[in-house]
Chain A
Amino acid sequence: MNSSDPKVSSGLAIELNGVAKRFGSTLAVEDLSLSVKRGSTFGLIGPNGAGKSTTIKMLMGVLNPTAGTVRVLGRDVGDEPEEVRQRVGYVPEMHFMDRWMSVSEVAGFCRSAYATWNDEICRDMLERFDLDPHKKVKQLSKGMLVKLSLVLAVSHEPEMLVLDEPMAGLDPVAREEFLDGVLRSVCERGQTVLLSTHSLDDVQRIADTVGFLYSGRLLVQRNIDELLAGTKRIRATLVNGEAPDKLPAGVVWQQVEGRDWLVTVADFTPDIVQEIDSLDGIEHVEIIDVGLEDLFKDFVKGQRSAS
């Protein structure tokens, strides 16, 4: 047996290895490797079209990868898609529910599809979310539909939750209710969570680890606290208005405006400041602390200017 033995890899909830997905001539996901530990909460961040949904659909066995392997909870998704679906709670981007069914009919339909369905959880959550069991799906607002989708995803007591941009387009009240529902479920059962989003607020509330996805490639995968501590923006004055030829290691993005030079570096250490300070034509070096949103933007801008 090799390292793909389920017993060996049981500490990981998600393992993607060299995964690619091609649609015709478009490469939606490119050489993606990613691992998420059991019990950890992972946020996949990226602009629209970065490949977040494609990645999630491959995790759930909805799409097959063009190359690479996808393992979820120790199982190969391609080999055992049903096993994976039984153990994962999935809130998809698009909700496939019969518009003419009532809320209770939809719940009954899902109940029959899962061996571990728990009626009590379902009932409690419908009540908490103020979802009327007699209402038809077509009468539900966007917020109610997403909340119903979460009820269905957690009622079979899954080991992991996979949430595909669930909070996009929700009003603040519905968003808060949804967040509360996810946190309650995680508090009760210590589930692993994978959330895709472009809200840096949502991701910091739900996730402890993030991955930045851009153009089908993973730029960073790191614990959020370490990322914040290890990435800094440095501002320096350029005497001649020209950035130095030799840059310090780990530059994520840089910009020169007049004599003002901004440079964002990963794996920051005070030595980097000294290094920059000692370069020719540089004055007044200072460190600027930045939040996750600005860090993410710097990574994306850095990629854009490199391509």
Chain B
Amino acid sequence: MEIDTRSHIPIYLQIADGIRDAVASGVYLPGEALPSLRTLSLEVQVNPNTVQKAYDELAREGLIYARRGRGLFVAEKGETSAKTSAQQSVQRAFQDGIRAARAAGMSEREVRRAFTAALDDSSPKGNSRPKRESDA
């Protein structure tokens, strides 16, 4: 997990995102233990208070839970809720983009076109998706 100290995103949220991704992609399975505060603190080189804050955030979301004296574990529904939060953060990113487009005076049609173009650009097989313009 890489921490970017130049980002505007607080480090505890970067750590929480990293763990959420790891759970969503099955690095840690439901019921499995997560690294201890100390282990993660030394691994990502961030003070343990900050790591604790990331774990608190994930526990609040119901992604992980604490067992007294035994550490932190991935919740049974952890994988699904990790995906849900990932979807939420994607949605937030889209909303930011749309807000910026509106501020720049783009029409809804232009925003849709820009989105489709961006999606085509980033799809693994390039032009595998038919383009809307040529469909018409």
CB contact between A228 and one of B8, B37, B42 (< 8 Å): that residue: B8
Which residues of chain A (248-307) have a CB below 8 Å from chain B? 284-286, 289-293
Q: Is A207 an interface position by the 8 A CB rule?
A: yes
Assembled-state Cα–Cα distance A176/B46 (Å) = 11
Inter-chain contact total with CB atoms closer than 8 Å: 66
The contact size tier of chain B is 20 to 34
Check if B45 is an interface residue, CB within 8 A of chain A. Answer: yes
CB distance from B93 to the nearest CB of A (A): 12
Our pick among B10, B13, B47, B53 for the contact of A205 (Cβ within 8 Å) is: B47
Within A195-249, which residues are at the interface with B (CB < 8 Å)? Answer: 200-201, 204-208, 224-225, 228-229
Q: Give the contact stretch, choosing among A26-34, A151-159, A180-188.
A: A180-188
Q: Which residues of B contact A (CB under 8 A)?
A: 3, 5-13, 37-38, 41-42, 45-50, 53, 100, 103-104
Known: A187-B37, A205-B3, A225-B13. 11 other contacts (CB 8 A): A183-B46, A184-B42, A204-B46, A205-B11, A205-B47, A206-B47, A225-B12, A284-B103, A284-B104, A291-B6, A293-B6
* Bound form: Cα–Cα A205–B53 in Å: 14
Which of B13, B37, B41 is most buried by chain A, counting CB atoms within 10 A of its CB?
B41
**In the complex the two chains form, is B50's CB within 8 Å of A208's CB?**
yes
Cross-chain contact A292 with B47 (CB below 8 angstroms): no
B41 contacts which chain A residues (CB < 8 A)?
A: 183, 187
A29 to B118, CA, bound (A): 53
A208 to B48, CA, bound (A): 10
Residues of B within 8 A of A187 (CB): 37-38, 41-42, 48
Which among B3, B37, B47, B103 has the highest number of chain A CB atoms within 10 Å? B47
Nearest CB of chain B from residue A286's CB, rounded to whole Å: 5
Whole-angstrom CA separation of A127 from B37 in the bound complex: 24
Q: With contacts A200-B5, A204-B5, A286-B100 known, is A180 near B45, CB below 8 A? A: yes
> Closest approach, in angstroms, between the C-beta of A262 and any C-beta of chain B?
15
Q: Which 8 A-B pairs have the closest CB atoms?
A: A289-B8, A225-B10, A187-B38, A201-B5, A204-B5, A291-B6, A208-B49, A291-B8
